[in-house]
């Protein structure tokens, strides 16, 4: 077993291939996709000496297990979790050498939701529209991992920045999302805007890569009916008929007809990727820049 590939032994609840995504194709109806916790994905790539755009594995809640067919350097980051090689505990958040044929097991997240696994050379599945990311909404990119699947790995190249270990903040006990009101805040009552920015919500178990759904107070509409479909952006806070806000994440639709009451600052969305169901959510109003 000397070829540059890895075999999937345990796919986990949902493990996908992700990179920086495919922005710039919304006019074709294609979401941007990409790693939900982009800083965590970039850091594990740096730990193994990959360029920032290399594709990694994004796990959900209970990790995954793979068997590389050649010796590789691996780093696991994002949501803290136990990591073993052939049953032996190894470092999380640091580069680890994994021999050909050894079993790398990324365990269940201790906190947070999504862990990221980088391999020297990156995951080398065929790119689609310039990205190797799995898009769960459109179906573009490779399918989520399944038992027995084999993923090709690229050749490690350099020189790239590499570190031996790096601090990674754990998920916060409360999710704070800075929002700019609009563009359709006039479709809601003044009380609804106050409710959004002063009352506490919680992350719903129905959340996924498309959007972070919330549980909490209903936002009252001032105008009946629905909008014609219009463009949607990353971080849009859309309010469906049940009145509870949904924050659009990487696999969000490019158009929608429910009104958008506010937009979350892009810098806050990586924290949203790690918020477990039941996590308190607060929307903090900020001025337009």
- Each residue of 236-265: pLDDT tens digit? 999 999 999 999 999 999 999 999 999 999
What are the pLDDT digits (tens) for 134-193?
A: 999 999 999 999 999 999 999 987 655 566 666 666 677 899 999 999 899 999 999 999
- Domains of the chain by range and CATH? 5-152 (no CATH), 175-285 (2.40.100.10)
Whole-number Å distance between alpha carbons of 66 and 15? 11
| Integer Cα distance of 27 and 59 in angstroms | 29
Q: Read off the pTM.
A: 0.94
pLDDT digits (tens, 9 = 90+) for 16-33: 999 999 999 988 889 999
What's the rounded Cα separation, in Å, for the pair 63 and 58?
9
């Amino acid at each position: 077993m000397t070829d540059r590939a890895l075999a999937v032994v345990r796919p986990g609840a949902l493990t996908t291939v992700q990179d920086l995504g495919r922005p710039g194709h919304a006019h074709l109806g294609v979401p941007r996709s990409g790693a939900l916790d982009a800083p965590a994905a970039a850091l594990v790539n740096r730990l193994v000496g990959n360029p920032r755009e290399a594709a990694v594995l994004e796990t959900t809640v209970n990790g995954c297990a793979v068997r590389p067919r050649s010796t590789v350097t691996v780093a696991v980051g994002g949501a803290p979790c136990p990591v073993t090689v052939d049953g032996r505990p190894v470092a999380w958040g640091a580069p680890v050498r994994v021999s050909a044929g050894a079993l790398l097991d990324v365990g269940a997240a201790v906190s947070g939701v999504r862990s990221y696994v980088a391999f020297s050379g990156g995951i080398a599945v065929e790119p689609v529209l310039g990205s190797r990311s799995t898009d769960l909404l459109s179906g573009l990119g490779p399918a989520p991992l399944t038992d027995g699947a084999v993923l090709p790995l690229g050749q490690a190249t350099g020189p790239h920045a590499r570190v031996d270990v790096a601090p990674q903040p754990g998920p916060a006990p409360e999710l704070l999302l800075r929002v700019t009101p609009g563009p359709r805040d006039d479709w809601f009552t003044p009380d609804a805007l106050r409710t959004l920015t002063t009352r506490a919500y919680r992350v719903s178990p129905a959340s996924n890569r498309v959007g972070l759904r919330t549980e909490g107070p209903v936002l009252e509409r001032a105008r009946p009916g629905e909008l014609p479909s219009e463009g949607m952006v990353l971080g849009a806070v859309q309010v469906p008929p049940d009145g509870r806000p949904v924050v659009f994440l990487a696999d969000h639709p490019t158009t929608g007809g429910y009104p958008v009451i506010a937009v979350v600052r892009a810098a806050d969305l990586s924290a949203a990727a790690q918020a477990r169901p039941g996590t308190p959510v607060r929307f903090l109003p900020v001025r337009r820049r």
